[in-house]
């Protein structure tokens, strides 16, 4: 990789992580401040995300068609990827539980729980598929799980246990969505269609929510934050991330996602005046350090296997 390409890849990766962290901050800010209800936030987030992704995808398709006109018919690119209803349903569950979780859980805690559970779920999936964890990886996974339990334990004994359940479901479904998309030949296009397919689910959820609440809570500030969350920090975050992914290793991709909870926590201090507690710091050290050991161990054993 040339120095210029390295700088570009680093920039894309960092901007994607900042976008994902900002997404958590916007969600928590809007819901905690009472500017919008969770269902409306999710609806506007998914709808604006679908709109942005389709605009970008349309522009990219136009560019590809222009280039294809100069090629022979046999060399032209044909991309018919359109995601799936299964992936769209998983994405919808992730989105709605993400919003309900952030009603009561702080930005940093929610982002840390999300990142930790996603990584542990993907590690468990790899083990189930036949991958063997070595000593360093087992120690790292145990530390990460210990940090996760240490962070979540007080929540289990307070009224916000419901928010914890929502975050756990959100993290698990995001891990499922990521695993489902591992074999995608066109992840950006598939994601755009998956966002689009969530719209009837959003409409149904909105109707059902009216049975349990007196009125829909919408304010100009809440609507703006939801649209920014979907159309900018979610959609553009995915675009930046998918642009960087082909140029970095799987280990580096996983490690870089561990930046999101830290960026979200520091951003929440700056924008929402949320404090960083000692429990959060200890849990972050255990979880991020443990997952870092897993990634280091896996990378070392992969290199050793390639040499042999």
pLDDT digit string, tens, across residues 125-153: 878 887 777 788 888 888 888 888 888 77
Low-confidence ranges of the chain (pLDDT < 70): 1, 67-80, 154-159, 214, 249-252, 301-308
Distance between CA atoms of residues 39 and 30, nearest Å: 12
Residue linked to tokens 């799980």: 145
Residue 69: partners with Cβ closer than 8 Å, 6 or more residues away: none
Handedness of CA 57, 91, 218, 226 (dihedral sign): negative
- In 3D space, the residue among 58, 84, 97 whose CA is nearest the CA of residue 195 turns out to be 84
Residues 166, 104 contacting (CB under 8 angstroms): no
Burial class (CB in 10 A: 0-12, 13-18, 19+), 28: buried
pLDDT computed for residue 301 by the predictor: 67
Kind and range of the H or E element at 85? helix 85-101
Q: Which residues contact 79 (CB under 8 A, 6 or more apart)?
A: 61, 64, 185, 186, 189
- pLDDT for res 90: 94
Model confidence, pTM: 0.84
| pLDDT score of 252 | 67
């Amino acid at each position: 990789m040339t120095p210029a390409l390295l700088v570009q890849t680093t920039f894309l990766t960092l901007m994607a992580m900042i976008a994902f962290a900002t997404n958590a901050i916007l969600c928590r800010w809007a819901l905690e401040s009472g500017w919008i209800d969770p269902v409306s936030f999710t609806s506007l987030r998914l709808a604006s995300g679908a709109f942005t992704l389709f605009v970008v995808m349309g522009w990219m398709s136009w560019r590809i068609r222009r280039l294809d006109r100069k090629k022979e018919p046999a060399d032209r690119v044909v991309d018919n990827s359109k995601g799936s209803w299964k992936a769209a349903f998983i994405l919808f569950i992730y989105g709605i539980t993400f919003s309900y979780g952030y009603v009561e859980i702080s930005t940093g805690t929610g982002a840390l729980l999300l990142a930790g559970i996603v990584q542990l779920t993907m590690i468990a999936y790899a083990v189930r598929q036949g991958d063997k964890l070595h000593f360093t990886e087992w120690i790292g996974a145990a530390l990460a799980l210990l940090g996760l339990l240490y962070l979540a334990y007080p929540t289990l004994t307070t009224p916000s246990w419901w928010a914890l359940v929502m975050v756990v479901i959100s993290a698990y479904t995001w891990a499922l969505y990521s695993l489902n998309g591992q074999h995608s030949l066109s992840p950006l296009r598939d994601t755009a269609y998956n966002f689009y397919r969530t719209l009837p689910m959003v409409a149904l959820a909105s109707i059902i929510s009216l049975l349990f609440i007196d009125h829909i809570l919408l304010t100009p500030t809440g609507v703006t934050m939801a649209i920014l969350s979907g159309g900018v920090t979610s959609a553009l975050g995915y675009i930046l991330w998918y642009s960087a992914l082909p140029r970095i290793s799987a280990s580096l991709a996983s490690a870089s996602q561990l930046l999101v909870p830290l960026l979200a926590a520091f951003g929440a201090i700056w924008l929402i005046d949320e404090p960083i507690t000692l429990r959060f710091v200890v849990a972050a050290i255990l979880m991020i350090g443990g997952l870092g050991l897993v990634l280091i161990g896996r990378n070392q054993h992969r290199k050793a296997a390639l040499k042999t």
